[in-house]
Amino acid sequence: MNKYNLMLPACKLYILSTTSASVGDSGEPFGSIYNLERACPFCGTAAQLVGPIRSIGLSKAKKDFFDTLGGDLMLSEKLKQALEDAGLMSNCLYPVHDTKGNVLPLYHINPTLTLPKAHKDSTGLKKADQCKNCKRDGHFNEAIIGSLENDIPTYVAPLQLNYDNVDADFLNSSDAFNTWEHFGISRLKKEGNYVVHYARPLIIVNERVKAVFEKLKIKHTEFEEVTLRLPADSFFN
């Protein structure tokens, strides 16, 4: 008998990502303001965006869903309106400005709630150059190296995040969440050619959000289901 019992939140949860090329850039280098009060004091991971995110190269963006080089997920006005009409994401979508402060017809996905650390049996994750203090940055998708000699291609392993003992009321309190794990390397200070950058979390959404994307046939969108279980014992270290 499996030692885990399935939780019963109202909806399943999925990692939301895009398979298309990034458009423009956004975040720290373009005048976006971040609150570091709850961030790691050594690397800045988990810095909180204050106000609209500022961007460059997005004024002519035509896609309904895409990410920027800074790692921020963006929605079109059309997709935002569809989610709003369905009563979804009201506390997760925020305006996007250009570097001059002009409002763009885009919305930035920026959830306020964060899931706990993923269980240690999660797969498809690797760690490198993590902050020794918080160990929240430095997460990456695991690449499985192939063999040219044997005609085996290199590919990115599917990402499977597993969670134990997450309160169902918490899961039902929002349509989107951040992961505890942040992807990429955070830099609190400019160093040589490296600019200030805070590693981004993945965005987790519920199946109601997924249904809206599918109804509108939003292109280049990927949903990877996460696993919710009881009880908790140990976590991804």
Q: Which pTM does this prediction carry?
A: 0.89
Q: What is the pLDDT of residue 6?
A: 43
**Total number of domains constituting the chain:** 1
Nearest alpha carbon to residue 163 among 2, 4, 3, 1:
4
Look up the domain containing 49 and give its range. 12-121+162-230
Please determine, for residue 7, whether its predicted confidence score (pLDDT) is greater than 60: no
Q: What is the pLDDT of residues 9-52, one digit of tens each?
A: 556 999 999 999 999 999 999 999 999 999 999 999 999 999 99
Q: Are 15 and 228 spatial neighbours (Cβ–Cβ below 8 Å)?
A: no
C-alpha to C-alpha distance for 31 and 25, rounded to whole angstroms: 12
Position 2 confidence tier, pLDDT thresholds 50, 70, 90: very low
Look at residue 19 in the predicted model and tell me its pLDDT.
Answer: 94
- pLDDT at residue 86, as a whole number: 96
Q: Give a yes or no: residue 213 inside a domain.
A: yes
pLDDT-derived band at 199 (thresholds 50, 70, 90) equals: very high
pLDDT tens for 118-159 read 999 999 999 999 999 999 999 999 987 766 676 667 768 889
Residue 42, domain member (yes or no): yes
Domain assignment present for 155 = no
Q: What is the pLDDT of residue 30?
A: 95
- Return the pLDDT at 125: 94
Evaluate if residue 112 carries a pLDDT over 60: yes
75 falls within a domain: yes
In a domain, 134, yes or no: no
Q: What is the pLDDT of residues 160-188, one digit of tens each?
A: 999 998 888 899 999 999 999 999 999 99
Mean pLDDT of the chain: 90
Tokens of 99: 């570097």
| Any domain includes 108 | yes
Higher-confidence position of 231 and 60: 60
Q: Give domain status of residue 154, yes or no.
A: no
Mind listing the pLDDT tens digit for each residue in 64-99? 999 999 999 999 999 999 999 999 999 999 999 999
26 within a domain of the structure (yes/no) = yes
